[in-house]
């Protein structure tokens, strides 16, 4: 029998704490009732009668020599209960049974079974009970050691979730988005939370530990310590991921540029692409992502690439021209399917900038991929004006895809000049939208009215006012330029013009 003098009351561990970061964590918990009992000492008993000599707060550990079966465990349980012991630890082979567990639950006494030598186990327990701080420090040290071995945020969160019993941890962005770990942590009623700085030293995310029950102050402090230990490795992992993303993006850009710089060559002459997820053989449907041209593209790449990898980890994404290129490679793949999938994924992606996408036609081999990508780029040129999350296929846009390639800023500036007269009218923007619709409909005011959702007379009235401003769209040599000028202005009019929905709809069709 071994026993340890009780430490000062304030420092006594509870059974709960011994489970969470003490040796009891290794034991099989048969009954987890009333784990808040304080532990004052550990007693290893090799005879039942020895239990009678121990007072409240004792962890009663049954010696392996007591291998007499379930009846013995139940007898010990009864004696331990009568003496307000903290819990009972039995050798697993001695055979606590489900009925034993029922009895323990009835007595609300925690019972554990251990598969190892209970003598050594009792010593370890006694050491933990004698020195609560040491037990906490050991857990923290173990976590710190494991943190150092993990390179990803996922891995570091895994250490906390795996090693710290009763705790679910998650890494949350300030807006509540779960970057890694268990979402349950974010919803937990009882939390311990520390801020995690980004590579720039400013708050980047929160590391949150969710606890099932209100933690004892000492336990909350232990969890906080472990979370703080995880902060630096997390920051490092973020920095590493960003560097990796930039490096990977540049690699991909180079590879894609090499692939596309050889138009007309056969597949055999193409450079070998060995980046993960890259396939040039088979049937492809290319995708091109774009953001608002006003936003600077290159600096955004790490954010876009990592957001893409989060939802589509198996597909490549390479920064290319003024956007990002990717492609689906499947034997039966169709652009419509790709567009639908992409819409769903864009909605889920947490990107730093608004993204819209164009989808090319399906085509085979490296040559086909080139063509499909060019089509996707054209389509994306049109969708970028439509806003975040918009996806259009090349076929869907038809010839309008061509308009997407026009230099938007220059053309719009010129359009504002050539249509200055029209825009100067009180309802200038409305007139431009109407003019675009009439031109779209080959001069038919009836069809234009239907398209704009207006009465034909309204359109006729507007056409009169347009003509009154000196705009003659009957001249064949003027019509193309007028039409282009209207298209150049439509996006900005769609954003702020007072023509309401009609203009907006016209711009989106």
Point out which residues bind other proteins (CB under 8 A): 47-48, 67-72, 74-79, 81, 93-95, 97-99, 102-103, 106-107
Shortest distance in whole angstroms from residue 104 CB to other proteins = 9
Shortest distance in whole angstroms from residue 82 CB to other proteins = 9
Shortest distance in whole angstroms from residue 68 CB to other proteins = 5
Residues in the chain: 509
Write b or e for each residue in 211-225: b if 16 or more Cβ atoms lie within 10 A of its Cβ, otherwise e: beeebeebbbebbeb
CA separation for the pair 71, 485 (Å, rounded): 94
Residue 323, beta-bridge partner list: 290, 320
* Under 8 Å between Cβ of 502 and 452: yes
Nearer to other proteins, 102 or 457 (CB): 102
Nearer to other proteins, 67 or 115 (CB): 67
Shortest distance in whole angstroms from residue 122 CB to other proteins = 20
Helix (H, G, I), strand (E, B) or coil at 436: helix
What residues contact residue 145 under an 8 Å CB cut-off, 6+ apart?
A: none
CA separation for the pair 136, 130 (Å, rounded): 12
Shortest distance in whole angstroms from residue 228 CB to other proteins = 45
DSSP label of 66? G
CA separation for the pair 26, 508 (Å, rounded): 63
Nearer to other proteins, 48 or 484 (CB): 48
Picking from 163, 148, 115, 121, the residue whose alpha carbon sits closest to that of residue 2 is 121
| Residue whose token pair is 């996707």 | 376
Nearer to other proteins, 76 or 463 (CB): 76
Q: 121: buried, middle or exposed (CB in 10 Å: 19+, 13-18, 0-12)?
A: buried
Nearer to other proteins, 97 or 254 (CB): 97
| Residue whose token pair is 């400013």 | 202
Nearer to other proteins, 79 or 223 (CB): 79
The maximal CA–CA distance of the chain, rounded, in angstroms, is 113
Shortest distance in whole angstroms from residue 78 CB to other proteins = 3
Shortest distance in whole angstroms from residue 71 CB to other proteins = 5
Nearer to other proteins, 76 or 249 (CB): 76
Shortest distance in whole angstroms from residue 18 CB to other proteins = 23
Shortest distance in whole angstroms from residue 98 CB to other proteins = 7
Where helices occur in 349-427 by DSSP H, the ranges are: 365-383, 394-397, 400-403, 408-418, 420-424
Nearer to other proteins, 34 or 250 (CB): 34
Nearer to other proteins, 34 or 374 (CB): 34
* Under 8 Å between Cβ of 433 and 501: no
CA separation for the pair 290, 353 (Å, rounded): 9
């Amino acid at each position: 029998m071994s026993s340890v003098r009780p430490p000062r009351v304030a420092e006594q561990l509870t059974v709960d704490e011994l489970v969470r970061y003490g040796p009891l964590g290794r034991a099989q918990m048969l009954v987890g009732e009333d784990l808040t009992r304080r532990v004052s000492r550990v007693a290893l008993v090799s005879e039942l009668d020895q239990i009678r000599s121990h007072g409240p707060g004792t962890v009663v550990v049954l010696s392996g020599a007591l291998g007499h079966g379930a009846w013995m465990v139940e007898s010990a349980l009864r004696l331990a209960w009568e003496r307000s012991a903290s819990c009972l630890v039995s050798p697993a082979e001695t055979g606590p049974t489900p009925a034993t567990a029922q009895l323990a639950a009835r007595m609300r006494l925690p019972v554990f079974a251990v598969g190892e030598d209970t003598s050594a186990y009792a010593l370890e327990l006694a050491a933990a009970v004698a020195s609560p701080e040491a037990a906490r420090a050991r857990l923290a040290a173990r976590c710190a050691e494991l943190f150092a071995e993990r390179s990803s945020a996922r891995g570091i969160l895994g250490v906390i979730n795996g090693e710290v019993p009763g705790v679910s941890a998650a890494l949350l962005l300030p807006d509540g988005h779960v970057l890694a770990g268990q979402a349950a942590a974010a919803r937990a009623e009882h939390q311990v939370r520390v801020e995690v700085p980004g590579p720039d030293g400013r708050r980047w995310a929160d590391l949150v530990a969710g606890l099932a029950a209100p933690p004892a102050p000492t336990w909350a402090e232990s969890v906080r310590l472990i979370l703080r230990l995880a902060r630096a490795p997390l920051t490092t992992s973020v920095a590493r991921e960003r560097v990796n993303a930039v490096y990977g993006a540049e690699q991909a850009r180079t590879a894609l540029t090499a692939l596309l710089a050889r138009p007309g060559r056969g597949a055999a002459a193409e450079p070998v692409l060995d980046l993960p997820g890259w396939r040039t053989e088979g049937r492809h449907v290319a995708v091109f992502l774009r953001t608002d041209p006003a936003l600077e593209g290159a600096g955004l790449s790490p954010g876009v690439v990592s957001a893409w990898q989060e939802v589509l980890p198996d597909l490549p994404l390479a920064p290319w021209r003024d956007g990002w290129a990717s492609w689906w490679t499947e034997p039966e793949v169709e652009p419509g399917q790709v567009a639908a999938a992409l819409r769903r994924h864009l909605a889920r992606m947490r990107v730093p900038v608004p993204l819209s996408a164009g989808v090319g036609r399906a085509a085979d081999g490296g040559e086909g991929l080139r063509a499909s990508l060019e089509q996707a780029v054209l389509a994306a040129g049109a969708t970028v004006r439509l806003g975040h999350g918009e996806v259009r296929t090349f076929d869907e846009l038809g010839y309008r895809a061509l308009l997407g390639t026009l230099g938007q800023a220059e053309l719009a500036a010129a359009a504002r000049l050539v249509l200055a007269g029209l825009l100067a009218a009180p309802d200038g923007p409305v007139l431009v939208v109407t003019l675009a619709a009439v031109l779209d409909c080959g001069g038919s005011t009836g069809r234009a009215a239907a398209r704009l959702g207006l009465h034909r007379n309204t359109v006729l009235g507007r056409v009169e006012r347009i003509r009154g401003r000196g705009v003659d769209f009957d001249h064949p040599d003027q019509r193309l330029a007028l039409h282009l000028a209207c298209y150049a202005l439509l996006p900005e009019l769609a954003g702020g013009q007072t023509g309401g929905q009609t203009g907006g709809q016209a711009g989106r069709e």
